[in-house]
Amino acid sequence: MSRRDEIAAGLAETEQRIAAACEAAGRDRSEITLIAVTKTYPASDVELLTGLGITDMGENRHPEAELKLDELRAGRQTGAPPLPRCHFLGGLQTNKAGAVARYADVVHSVDRVKLANSLARGAEAAGRTLTCLVQVDFSATDPGRSGVVPAGIADVASAIAGSAHLELGGLMTVAPLGEDPAPHFAHLVRLSQDLRAEHPEATIISAGMSGDFGAAIDAGATHLRIGRSILGERPPAG
């Protein structure tokens, strides 16, 4: 099987499962954006995905993401579909925010005011506008390690919404490892409703990965971040 056929099969199967979850939840597939998480996979896989209609890619590391985008840009053939939007999903140090602001379209992992301010400076320097999501952490054992605890959302959201170079997109979470994700996704959706009372534009609810996207669709997620289910198991990090 060619790599293209392999990815096409993974994508088709994933789409079938998304359709079934939408059907069960009484939702329309068009309410949901599928982000293909291409971290650790080569630029050639991203190229194949765009040929299969994928418009959004997810990356979690700098500089891997930047190098991949550079490679994609350099290899572009005339008439090829446009490059996918780049969603940055990973934990981000303040000193790398300026670099990420140059190429990311959406940053899902904004979890502190200081990071929002650094992204704002980077976006301004790059002459770009960056959509930012507040990452929420529901972990009971180690709260606030990756993401802000619910009580901290408002401050980070205000810092984003108050910047001329950032747009507040909404909320994101990664369900705590080894726990039933459903109550956490439902909690995120309630927090999103609260946030939209203050910031009506913040409509994105980013939740759901290969292992739990059915539960995320059921809860009301608008953006799914799916890697392995489309692209196959990742090679172990070297």
Ligand X SMILES: *Cc1c(COP(=O)(O)O)cnc(C)c1O
> Taking CB under 6 A as the rule, does residue 210 contact ligand X?
yes
**Which of 13/198 has CB closer to ligand X?**
13
> Taking CB under 6 A as the rule, does residue 174 contact ligand X?
yes
> Taking CB under 6 A as the rule, does residue 226 contact ligand X?
yes
| Distance in Å, CB of 129 to ligand X, minimum | 22
| Distance in Å, CB of 87 to ligand X, minimum | 9
| Distance in Å, CB of 39 to ligand X, minimum | 6
Strands (E), the chain: 33-37, 56-59, 85-88, 106-110, 130-136, 166-173, 204-206, 223-226
Q: Which residues contact 96 (CB under 8 A, 6 or more apart)?
A: 62
Q: At what angle do helices 43-51 and 64-74 cross, to 10 degrees?
A: 60
**Which of 117/210 has CB closer to ligand X?**
210
> Taking CB under 6 A as the rule, does residue 104 contact ligand X?
no
Handedness of CA 36, 238, 62, 181 (dihedral sign): positive
| Distance in Å, CB of 60 to ligand X, minimum | 4
- Compute the distance between CA of residue 185 and CA of residue 172 in angstroms, rounded to an integer: 10
> Taking CB under 6 A as the rule, does residue 130 contact ligand X?
no
Q: Judged by CB under 6 A, which of 60, 163, 173, 192 binds ligand X?
A: 60
β-bridge pairing 56-59 and 85-88: parallel
Sole window of 16-24, 65-73, 190-198, 224-232 interacting with ligand X (rule: CB under 6 A) = 224-232
Residue 147 has phi, psi (to 5 degrees) of: 120, 165
Closest residue to ligand X, Cβ-based?
227
> Taking CB under 6 A as the rule, does residue 227 contact ligand X?
yes
> Taking CB under 6 A as the rule, does residue 37 contact ligand X?
yes
| Distance in Å, CB of 165 to ligand X, minimum | 23
Q: Which residues contact 50 (CB under 8 A, 6 or more apart)?
A: 80, 81, 82, 83, 84
Strand partners, 36: 57, 226
Per CB under 6 A, residues contacting ligand X are 37, 39, 60, 89, 174, 209-211, 225-229
